[in-house]
Amino acid sequence: MDEPIPLGSLRLPKFDLRQARAFLFVADELHFGRAAARLFTSQPALSRTIHALEEAVGVSLFERSTRRVRLTPAGEVFAAECRLALGHLERAAAAAHDAADGSIGRLRVGYMDFAINGRLPQLLQGYRAKFPRDVLDLEYSPTAKQRTALLEGRIDIGFVIGDFESQKVLSLLVDQDDYVALLPDTHPLASRRTVRLADLADEPFVMGSEDAFSSFRRLLLPICHAAGFFPSIVQQASNSNGIFGMVAAGVGVSVYAGCARNMRRAGVVIKPLADVSELIPTFAVWVADHPAEVLQRFRDFLVANARLGPTAARRPTEA
């Protein structure tokens, strides 16, 4: 049997978790005042913590001026590694709690708007019925942020728009949505059975914001171009409720996924787009070498319940 490694022989870092967490707050905010407020501490105390961390690491992590704070190249690398390390520690703590309270496993699941308004609730309900002792922690995040969180170990599986082009990641198609138009119920086209995307060429558009709906916009905008126009975006929203609310208020029209039929709202009518045949794919994605048994159970369940295309998960081609 291997001999245990003495702690004294390990090269342990010269900083602690408190300093690493403080650093990540500043890295997220890029503002010492806001980060200090989130940490319930003073700005001078936070500055001293970061200075001590930089001394321990031996490099400058931030570039500071009177106008702005930004990460140095070393700080960007350090932030990514800190998030990964803290994610593993949080997973270790959660696993210890699960072992203590008798839970079989805990899975961190990322999801975006189209997934939670589509098949995902049905899939989660079915999994919980089959494995009632497994704990599923759900975390809302746009597709782009889920991809980063997955690679950094902050979620175990994500439900995203489109495929994930990484050799480290496996994916499974779990849902497909058509494109639909969202119109105010007073709109001249609201009485039609279907509309054409081309009919909306001269309309003011309400669109999901770039930070929250970037993956969907990359699918939609080429389709609009093929229909002969670029949407005149007059208002953007960071979530689906905002999009529906602005359409209901008559601010403009929008194009959304067909899962909109599951979230009807007064003042909004949903119309199929007769001239759009493309579909919006939702994939489950996970890191290929993830060791957790609970993830193996969950992805096996998804494969068994996939109703779309091949049932085997596949490895995408390298980007």
Looking up tokens 């980007």 gives 319
Taking only the tens place, the pLDDT of each residue in 138-157 is 999 999 999 999 988 899 99
Structure tokens at 130: 């089959």
Q: How far apart are CA 157 and CA 299, in angstroms?
A: 9
* pLDDT more than 70, % of the chain: 90
Looking at residue 290, what is its pLDDT? 84
82 touches 20 (CB < 8 A): yes
Are the C-beta atoms of residues 135 and 99 closer than 8 Å to each other? Answer: no
Question: b/e for 152-185, b at 16 or more Cβ within 10 A?
Answer: bbbbbbbbbbbebebeebbbbbbbbbebbbbbbe
Strand 268-272 and strand 157-161: pairing? Answer: unpaired
DSSP state of 253: B
SS3 50: helix
Backbone angles phi, psi at 78, to 5 degrees: -65, -40
pLDDT at residue 210, as a whole number? 92
Largest alpha-carbon pair distance within the chain? 78
Q: Give the containing element (helix H, strand E) for 220.
A: helix 210-226
What count of Cα atoms within 13 Å lies in the side-chain half-sphere of residue 73? 0
β 204-208/179-184 pair status: unpaired
- 3-state DSSP assignment of residue 173: strand
The kind and range of the H/E element at 62 are strand 62-64
CA distances (Å), 97 to each of 83, 93, 138, in order? 21, 6, 18
Structure tokens at 43: 């700005």
Task: Delineate the domains of the chain, giving CATH numbers in brackets.
Answer: 7-80 (1.10.10.10), 103-176+281-305 (3.40.190.10), 179-278 (3.40.190.10)
pLDDT at residue 66 in the model: 81
- pTM greater than 0.85 (yes/no): no
3-state helix, strand, coil in the chain (%, to 5): 45, 20, 35
What is the DSSP code (8-state) at residue 316?
P
Return the pLDDT at 178. 97
Cα distance between the two ends of the chain: 43
10-residue averages of pLDDT along the chain (319 residues) = 48 80 92 92 93 91 89 92 85 70 78 95 95 93 93 93 85 95 97 96 96 94 96 95 96 97 93 96 92 91 75 36
- CA angle centred on 117, ends 136 and 151, rounded to 5°: 50
Which residues neighbour 50 within 8 Å (Cβ) at sequence distance 6 or greater? 19, 22, 23, 26, 32, 61, 62
The CA-CA-CA angle for residues 8, 10, 14, to 5°, reads 90
